[in-house]
Amino acid sequence: MQKAELRKLYTEKRNALTDAEIQQLSQEISTNILHHFNLSQLTISLFFSIPSKKEIDTATLLQKLLELHCKITVSKSEFTTAEMTHYLYEDEEQLAVSKYGIPEPKYGKIIAPSEIDVVFVPLLGFDKKGYRVGYGKGFYDRFLAQCKKDCVFIGLSFFDEAVVIDEVHSNDIPLHYCVTPTSVYSF
């Protein structure tokens, strides 16, 4: 399928989830992550959920990572350049919701992509090779290309089915893993 078709299909599937289902599935994804990966004391890029897009709620995962003494970075998106700048997460007071509905830092210490050990990546769908369908702006592909070679990219998905993506581009960066409520896929 074309990426536009997959975006539409998986947006509809997410929109069909109730708030209770999102919370339950998000909890299962967090549990799966913590059972499969040793993340203690790493520097981790974590996206904060956009509730209007019915994204995976990462609040529980954030708390668990902080308990593991991880350094958490959160991104601020620049829509004119489609680039992201990462800031060290300090607390909720640091965040404000942008005009796009994204919780972003208002201030903080900038963390270079080369300092990040693990990136949790939002997505709509993924294929058997680790390529993903996102929102189509290329923010994450640009960011992942800047990360160090041993940085681990972990996608998070409500759905287990791998899709067929007909249009993988040379600048698309594959994931190393994708975590769902029931599985951890390794690519």
Task: Convert 111-143 to b/e letters by CB count within 10 Å (16 or more is b).
Answer: bebebbbbbbbbbbbbbeebbbbbeeebbbbbb
CATH number of the domain encompassing residue 17: 3.40.50.10420
Instruction: Return the pLDDT at 4.
Output: 87
Instruction: Return the pLDDT at 114.
Output: 97
The two structure tokens encoding residue 94: 């640091």
Instruction: Return the pLDDT at 161.
Output: 83
Instruction: Return the pLDDT at 136.
Output: 67
With 0-12 / 13-18 / 19 or more C-beta atoms within 10 angstroms meaning exposed / middle / buried, residue 58 is buried
Q: Residue 86 pLDDT > 80, yes or no?
A: yes
Decide the pairing of beta strands 177-179 and 184-186.
Answer: antiparallel
Q: Which range marks the domain in which residue 118 is found?
A: 3-186
Instruction: Report which residue type is found at 178.
Output: C
The predicted-structure confidence for 3-37, as pLDDT tens digits, reads as follows 889 999 999 999 999 999 999 999 999 999 999 99
Question: With the C-alpha atoms ordered 109, 111, 116, 120, is the resulting torsion angle positive or negative?
Answer: positive
Is 185 in contact with 123 (CB distance < 8 Å)? no
Instruction: Look at the chain and report how many structural domains it folds into.
Output: 1
Q: Which residue has the higher pLDDT, 78 or 38?
A: 38
The predicted-structure confidence for 101-157, as pLDDT tens digits, reads as follows 889 999 999 999 999 999 999 999 999 999 999 886 778 999 999 999 999 999 999
The predicted-structure confidence for 36-60, as pLDDT tens digits, reads as follows 999 999 999 999 998 889 999 999 9
Instruction: Return the pLDDT at 3.
Output: 87
Q: Which residue has the higher pLDDT, 91 or 136?
A: 91
